[in-house]
Amino acid sequence: MSASIHNGSRKDINGRPHIYYDGYWIRYYAPPEETLAAKRDLLLSLTRRTFHHTEPGINTPGQKTEVARASYEAEQDPARKRVNAAMLAGALFNRATDIFTSIVDLESQGIEVHQDNELMRECSECFSEALELGKQVRHPSGHEGIDELWGEPFNVFTHTIASYYASRYIKISQTMKAIDDIAARIETVYERMPSFAGVGRIVREFARAARVECEMMKSDPDFFLNWPEFVTLKEQLKAFHPTPPAGISALARVQLQRGCRLLSDGTDLISYMAGVRVPMPKSKREFIEHLNDFDLDSQGVGLRIDSD
């Protein structure tokens, strides 16, 4: 049935407006009026959000850009240079936002700033370079694959607010699909192990709450309903303890411990995806590979019961 629904279709679900993208009905929020002030406010909001979901220590003030650049260019150690790249990206990010805020202030004083103005060109160059360096930026957990999040302010600067909102829905649908893929694989692996009985149901509920967390703006009053459910379901999964079968071997006991760690890791990954609203493909791929290895090893020590 979803094949007949076109992306961008809208309808109310449970009294709330939704928009359809790539198999998912997503909570819809109307974009604000297209003004420089509205774009500035969105940029500032995205700046706070981006630094909240990225590694610590890279929220470099814009006025420190040249110092950050000199340190980046001088560093020779590859691992340290990556961190310096992230710090320079943060400085460029903040400088671009500072410049755009100044442009809006000038406009409010009746001083028109054209697109070919030097300030606008520098703002664009800062965002572009920050976008490229942003590939080096990581999630606070150390996971990679969040450069899409880093690129959101650049998209707002170069496109209309309405087009940014549309790209947001596309990214949310991709993230929802990644969440569902991980949850489905966790459920498939663990439901074949009696020691983890009940995990599948909690994972399904957690994935549903994560999809809502992914689509919902914090200003939505419904956030106060979903967030407590999302947090408590996550806590249940993180605290889950399997029931060891009678006569369990030492190797099988090690596998149960490994299963707990993987369940916790998968729970965290789903939580990270819901927070940043990007699918984090590298992290998803690596986790599912680890999960598949665990599935095979569990069969070898007698923890897995196949239906066939």
pLDDT tens, 4-51? 899 999 999 999 999 999 999 999 999 999 988 999 999 999 888 889
Check whether residue 53 and residue 88 sit in a common domain.
yes
Check whether residue 153 and residue 182 sit in a common domain.
no
Indicate whether 80 belongs to any domain. Answer: yes
Mean of per-residue pLDDT scores for the chain: 92
| Last-in-domain residue among 124, 158, 192 | 158
d(CA 270, CA 272) in angstroms, rounded, equals: 5
pLDDT in tens, 213-247: 999 998 999 999 999 999 999 999 999 999 888 88
Coil/strand/helix, residue 197: coil
| Last-in-domain residue among 98, 123, 158 | 158
Neighbours of 56 (CB within 10 A): 7
What is the distance of C-alpha 142 from the center of its chain? 13
| Last-in-domain residue among 126, 158, 190 | 158
Domain range for 81 is 36-158
Residue found by looking up tokens 């689509």 in the block? 215
Check whether residue 147 and residue 211 sit in a common domain.
no
Q: Give the rounded percent of residues in the chain with a pLDDT score beyond 70.
A: 98
d(CA 58, CA 184) in angstroms, rounded, equals: 35
What is the distance of C-alpha 228 from the center of its chain? 19
Which contacts of 20-23 are long-range, i.e. CB under 8 A and separated by 24 or more positions? 21/169, 21/170, 21/172, 21/173, 22/170, 22/173, 22/174, 22/177, 23/173, 23/177
Confidence band for 2, pLDDT divided at 50, 70 and 90: low
Check whether residue 175 and residue 144 sit in a common domain.
no
Helix axis angle, 36-52 to 78-108, nearest 10°: 160
Torsion of CA 129, 131, 132, 135, to 10 degrees: 140
Indicate whether 3 belongs to any domain. Answer: no
What is the distance of C-alpha 307 from the center of its chain? 36
CB 174 within 8 A of CB 182: no
pLDDT in tens, 111-164: 888 878 888 899 989 999 998 998 899 999 888 878 888 888 888 888 899 999
Indicate whether 16 belongs to any domain. Answer: no
Report how many domains make up the chain.
2
